[in-house]
Amino acid sequence: MIIVSACLIGINCAFDGRSRPNRKVLGLMRTGKLIPICPEQLGGLPTPRDSADQIGDKVITRNGKDVTAQYVLGAKEGLFIAQLTGCKKAILKARSPSCGPKQIYDKTCPTSLIKDYGVFAKLLKENNIEVLSEDDL
């Protein structure tokens, strides 16, 4: 079983209420081994919602609201699902403050990237689950 960002398979759960379908991820759906997760929704955030960025240990919306607790709760719930289903791999949305493996947007310059992991991606990695993005496929 493989955890996958729900937006990558066409579920309208991204911050703007849309999806980010990826052809390669959609092709993997035929295996029946993908478990779609949106950690932001699992953490109780609505869709659509304000976009957010990581700033140190916090996740702050573009309007200045601290949503760290919701991101952490969603990451923990997503990890629980991964562990419950025996997942050893995840394919997550690149550059997301929740799901981004390897790089996320830099709050100080929204078009710049920094080397870091999103909240969910980091928690999965810390629990020995391989984390990839759709860009890695």
pLDDT band at 104 (very low <50, low <70, confident <90, very high): low
Q: What is the DSSP letter of 12?
A: S
Secondary structure class of 128 (helix, strand, coil): coil
Tell me which residue range forms the domain holding 15: 2-136
Burial class (CB in 10 A: 0-12, 13-18, 19+), 10: middle
User: Quick one: pLDDT at residue 50?
Assistant: 94
Mean pLDDT of 126-132: 97
**Tokens representing residue 50 in the block:** 């304000």
For residue 126, CA distances in Å to 27, 46, 64, 89, 109 come to 28, 27, 28, 12, 28
How many structural domains are present in the chain? 1
Is pLDDT larger for residue 84 or for residue 103?
A: 84
Q: What is the pLDDT of residue 27?
A: 94
* Whether this model's pTM surpasses 0.85: yes
d(CA 70, CA 14): 15
